[in-house]
Amino acid sequence: MSNDLQRDEARYKAQGFGNEMGIAGRVGLLIVDFVNGFADPAAFGGGNIPQAIARTTTLLAAARRLGWKIAHTRIVFADDGADANIFSLKVPTMLGLTEGNPASAIVPELAPAPGEYVVRKTVPSAFSGTPLAAWYVAHGVQTVVVAGCVTSGCVRASVLDAMQAGFRPIVVSDCVGDRAIGPHEANLFDMAQKCGDVLELDTLLSRIPNQ
């Protein structure tokens, strides 16, 4: 750990940031936008996203074994662009992620199983304008474990909204990825200070009761 990072962590701690929320109640899993387009460096991918997808296969298998409520997200715009928005104005290539475009399909190794909820969205957050929060509440979920991409975008937006909706977000640091490592690391640090717990997968699983 660099001296600068040590100083930063000490400053945040002195100001009261970075307390752990811990795990409470039923656990849900949210896998954000691990779709073909984000796995492809020629499209929306790059960085450490492939490694995060590979690691998430272990997380997903554990979640299924433990009976967690599991949700996946995809970015899906209308074929004719009728639902274009400010997000697509900023990143117009997102409009190509339509229902039938293979780039919008969830990667095969994380394909949803029956009973797992697939959330279609047109903004970064998995919660904004979707029934996801209500779905978790209906199933008694209090803690939401988050994997996916990109760390600095849709993952961060979803974690912030999960916290604001009253859930306890846990970001699995080796199961989230970004097309650039700098934003990935900076956002892991910032989320850990302000809106969620950040744990490696092995640490998380060691803290889950009744395995």
Residue 87, C-beta contacts closer than 8 angstroms, at least 6 positions apart: 94, 122, 123, 124
Q: Please provide the DSSP assignment of 24-90 as one string.
A: -SEEEEEEE--BHHHH-TTTT--TTHHHHHHHHHHHHHHHHHHT-EEEEEEE-B-TT-TT--HHHHH
Q: State the maximum Cα–Cα separation within the chain, in Å, rounded to a whole number.
A: 52
Catalytic residue among 149, 154, 175, 195: 154
- Considering only CA atoms, which of 58, 89, 65 is closest in space to residue 175? 58
Burial class from Cβ neighbours inside 10 Å (0-12, 13-18, 19+) for residue 152 reads buried
Residue 165, C-beta contacts closer than 8 angstroms, at least 6 positions apart: 127, 133
Number of helices and strands in the chain (H, E): 8, 6
Q: How far apart are CA 125 and CA 200, in angstroms?
A: 22
Based on the residue annotation, tell me whether 175 is a catalytic residue of this protein. no
Q: How far apart are CA 127 and CA 122, in angstroms?
A: 11
Residues catalogued as catalytic: 154
